[in-house]
């Protein structure tokens, strides 16, 4: 009786404790870390589940390891055995059953070939390294190669990264292409226009998709359906379109760099394939990687058939719900699970419906602090209150939830907001958010089962645009829970046909809180030569002056220079200036990513970086510099291989000030110290 009473009291104590705090991702999806021996540098490039429950991993250091007991059962200690070595940065691994002698074998994609790795004597060490398919190399550091991925018909696909020479280039044959291989190692060119195609896969219906990272000709991360002969947007690979077997004849010079939205340009270029889903840069992630369709039949939670997409830079997994409308693939992406130990590059399903997540960050720095790792993502069995999917309707969207909603909050249009925007399609690296507009809501209809809300817009939706759907005011019917992630981004390539909803014909509020206001406008550069005496005081407080002030008749007292290098780093960690001196700062962005340089008060770099994250849709137009008293001086966001100079008077108070890149996802790693001395 005493034991029963103790258990009852413990339960009473536990329930309020859980109820008093908001639900977190950890409550629903638990991350389990595999311990890796210190002498193994498991910088994962590829993962391959084996039929006997073991897991194989290839590493960027050229090795293949077989991991026993990856589920950590019994002793809870996994084992590691090196299967192969001496490969050139392999970034893909596939296990094939049923070789000629009945043994399985691996196909591993390294820089210049797919290699067949065979264990002839069964000792879990490769005895045979056989070239399966080769391609030429230029020697450029950016020539990453990925795959192979198995197709339903037994063929495979691989992808070849573009070179980088200050912009994407195809210096060696087939760079920027997806290639199809049969089981004899014979190649068929499949599609081009790829820039950095680290993630690609095939759905159960045979449809091939790939994910892309922001770069030149790529305004933001995206997922594209690739059919034979498709051109995905970066023209560099079109250099090889006249080669025998090419499925398209488009030439690089046929692709204009006008800055118009991609969906507009696609109307004039036959082969240009628009993305099925855009991942708004920094709002979702910064470098999309591998993805997997949920084929676990409910073992991974309530999202069967949806896609789970890794992000290398933000060390997280996102979720995608696709649909096909008028023959066009489109759909929504959602946040899902953050907090992984390193940059996510590969994901595979385990035999129990959990997900193995392979990670690496050397040279490709990530928010996860570890240099590499393998973790397992496990559903706890609890259903999170989430937006399950968003579907196109002729006058708006259906928003389906994982749990029944509270009808009062869900029927209130003020519980939602809609915004739409797009990106430029041009040869420049990335794009700011373009043509952003709020979408007024006319009304909301909630289904009888409480699982779906029909949001009716008070204007015609724009095809080809990304639509931000927020449901921050909606609560669950049981427990009054807020949505774990209240925002989704729906790429609207085609508006669904059908009947419009019958709602009260009343205008609704203009939900424009996410849009720019007077208090969030970017600060323009200041040329002190062009301002009158009355404005001198204001100029002295300006945070970005790009021309030599007129009263600096002898020029700056000192010039300091800081650059960038791969791995989200400044090229110097410490600069020194004299208190009150006139300083010219030259910022050189030598990297192949976008960066800025923001000088902040001592100890505030992380806070300013976090404030930049919260700028949301306003971020690009503000150069990701928040309106904060902690920000002293700053450059704008710079393109790769570009520079900017700013002029400022150093603080009069000595101390260790900081400089930081506030481009989202960079600030936690990309910091330096500006020492102000007397």
Instruction: Specify the pTM.
Output: 0.85
Query: Is 667 in the same domain as 587?
Result: yes
pLDDT confidence of residue 99: 64
600: domain range? 558-676
For residues 293-313, average pLDDT: 97
Last residue of a domain, one of 455, 471, 492: 492
Q: Does the residue 532 lie in any domain?
A: no
What's the burial of 440, exposed, middle or buried (CB within 10 Å: 0-12/13-18/19+)? middle
Q: Does the residue 434 lie in any domain?
A: yes
Q: How much of the chain exceeds pLDDT 90, in percent? A: 83
Q: Does the residue 415 lie in any domain?
A: yes
Per residue in 61-85, pLDDT (tens digit) is 999 999 999 999 988 899 999 999 9
Q: Does the residue 649 lie in any domain?
A: yes
Per residue in 588-631, pLDDT (tens digit) is 998 888 899 999 999 999 999 999 988 878 888 899 999 999 99
For residues 39-60, average pLDDT: 98
Q: How far apart are CA 276 and CA 332, in angstroms?
A: 9
Q: Does the residue 53 lie in any domain?
A: no
Q: How many domains does the chain have?
A: 2
Last residue of a domain, one of 492, 507, 542: 492
Q: For residue 571, what is the domain's CATH number?
A: 2.60.40.420
The residue behind tokens 């077989």 is 66
Query: Is 657 in the same domain as 564?
Result: yes
CB 111 within 8 A of CB 88: yes
Q: For residue 481, what is the domain's CATH number?
A: 2.60.40.1220
Closest CA to 175 of 187, 155, 192, 198: 192
Tokens representing residue 52 in the block: 């006997």
Query: Is 563 in the same domain as 665?
Result: yes
Q: Does the residue 267 lie in any domain?
A: no
Per residue in 470-521, pLDDT (tens digit) is 999 999 999 999 999 999 999 999 999 999 998 764 444 444 444 433 334 4
- Residue 164: is its pLDDT beyond 80? yes
- Phi then psi for residue 377, to 5 deg, are -100, 120
**For the residues of 161-198, what is the DSSP string, one character each?**
PPEESSSEE--STTTTEEEEE-TT--EEEEEE--SS--
pLDDT confidence of residue 669: 84
Tokens representing residue 521 in the block: 């406008």
- Residue ranges of alpha helices (H) inside 89-142 are none
Give the other-Cβ count within 10 Å of 561's Cβ: 14
Positive or negative torsion for Cα 379, 381, 386, 390 = positive
Query: Is 663 in the same domain as 587?
Result: yes
For residues 567 and 184, the model is more confident at: 184
The region, left, alpha or beta by phi > 0 then psi within -120 to 50, assigned to residue 120 is: alpha
Query: Is 461 in the same domain as 566?
Result: no
Query: Is 488 in the same domain as 562?
Result: no
- Residue 174: is its pLDDT beyond 90? yes
Q: Does the residue 567 lie in any domain?
A: yes
pLDDT confidence of residue 6: 44
Strands 145-150 and 156-160 come out as antiparallel
Per residue in 233-289, pLDDT (tens digit) is 999 999 999 999 999 999 999 999 999 999 999 999 999 999 999 999 989 999 999
Last residue of a domain, one of 492, 521, 540: 492
Q: Does the residue 622 lie in any domain?
A: yes
Q: How far apart are CA 648 and CA 632, in angstroms?
A: 9
Closest CA to 434 of 500, 369, 515, 315: 515
């Amino acid at each position: 009786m005493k034991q029963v009473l103790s258990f009852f009291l413990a339960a009473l104590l536990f329930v309020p404790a859980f109820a008093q705090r908001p639900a977190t991702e950890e409550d629903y999806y638990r991350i389990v870390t595999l311990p890796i021996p210190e002498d193994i540098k498991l910088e994962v490039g590829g993962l391959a589940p084996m039929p006997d429950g073991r897991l194989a991993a290839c590493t960027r250091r050229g090795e293949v390891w077989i991991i026993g007991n990856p589920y950590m059962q019994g002793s809870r200690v996994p084992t590691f055995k090196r299967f192969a070595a001496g490969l050139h940065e392999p970034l893909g691994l596939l296990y094939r059953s049923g070789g000629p002698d009945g043994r399985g074998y691996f196909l591993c994609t390294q820089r210049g070939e797919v290699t067949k790795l065979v264990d002839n004597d069964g000792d879990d060490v490769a005895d045979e390294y056989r070239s399966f398919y080769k391609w030429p190399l230029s020697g450029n550091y950016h020539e990453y190669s990925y795959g192979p991925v198995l197709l339903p018909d037994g063929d495979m696909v691989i992808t070849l990264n573009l070179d980088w020479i200050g912009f994407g280039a195809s210096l060696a044959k087939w760079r920027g292409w997806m290639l199809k291989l049969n089981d004899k190692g014979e190649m068929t060119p499949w599609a081009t226009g790829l820039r950095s195609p680290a993630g690609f896969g095939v759905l159960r219906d045979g449809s091939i998709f790939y994910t892309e990272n922001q770069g030149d000709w790529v305004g933001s991360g995206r997922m594209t359906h690739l059919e034979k002969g498709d051109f995905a947007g970066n023209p560099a690979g079109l250099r090889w379109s006249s080669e025998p077997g090419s499925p398209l004849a488009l030439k690089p010079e046929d692709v204009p760099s006008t800055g118009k939205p991609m969906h507009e340009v696609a109307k004039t270029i036959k082969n240009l394939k628009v993305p099925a889903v855009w991942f708004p840069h920094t709002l979702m992630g910064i470098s999309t990687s591998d993805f997997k369709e949920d084929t676990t039949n409910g073992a991974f939670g309530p999202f069967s058939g949806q896609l789970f997409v890794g992000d290398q830079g933000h060390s997280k997994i996102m979720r995608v719900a696709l649909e096909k409308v008028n023959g066009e693939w489109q759909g929504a992406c959602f946040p899902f699970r953050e907090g992984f130990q390193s940059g996510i590059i590969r994901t595979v399903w385990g035999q129990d419906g959990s997900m193995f997540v392979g990670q690496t960050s050397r040279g490709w720095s990530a928010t996860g602090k570890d240099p590499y790792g393998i973790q397992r993502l496990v559903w706890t069995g609890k259903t999170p209150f989430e937006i399950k999917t968003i579907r196109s309707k002729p006058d708006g969207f259906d928003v389906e939830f994982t749990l029944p909603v509270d009808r009062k909050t869900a029927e209130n249009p003020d519980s939602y907001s809609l915004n739409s925007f797009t990106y430029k399609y041009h040869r420049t690296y990335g794009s700011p958010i373009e043509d952003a507009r709020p979408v007024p809501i006319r009304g909301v209809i909630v289904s009888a089962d409480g699982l779906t809300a029909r949001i009716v817009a008070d204007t015609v939706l724009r095809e080809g645009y990304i639509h931000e759907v927020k449901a921050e005011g909606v609560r669950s019917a049981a427990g009054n829970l807020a949505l774990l992630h209240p925002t989704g981004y729906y790429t609207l390539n085609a508006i669904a046909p059908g009947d419009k909803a019958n709602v009260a014909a009343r205008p609704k509020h203009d939900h424009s809180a996410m849009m720019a206001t007077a208090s969030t406008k970017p600060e323009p550069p200041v040329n002190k030569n062009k301002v009158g005496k009355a404005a001198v005081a204001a100029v002295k407080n300006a945070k970005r002056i790009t021309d030599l002030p007129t009263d600096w008749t002898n020029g700056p007292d000192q010039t300091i220079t800081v650059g960038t290098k791969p791995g989200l780093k400044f090229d110097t960690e410490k600069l020194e200036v004299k208190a009150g001196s006139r300083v010219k700062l030259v910022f050189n962005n030598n990297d192949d990513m976008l960066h800025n340089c923001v000088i902040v008060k001592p100890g505030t770099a992380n806070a300013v970086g976090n404030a930049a994250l919260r700028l949301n849709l306003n971020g690009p137009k503000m150069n990701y510099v928040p309106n904060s008293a902690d920000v002293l001086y700053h450059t704008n966001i710079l393109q790769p291989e570009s520079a900017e100079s700013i002029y400022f008077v150093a603080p009069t108070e000595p101390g260790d000030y900081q400089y930081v890149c506030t481009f989202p996802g960079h600030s936690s790693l990309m910091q330096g110290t500006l020492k102000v001395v007397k």
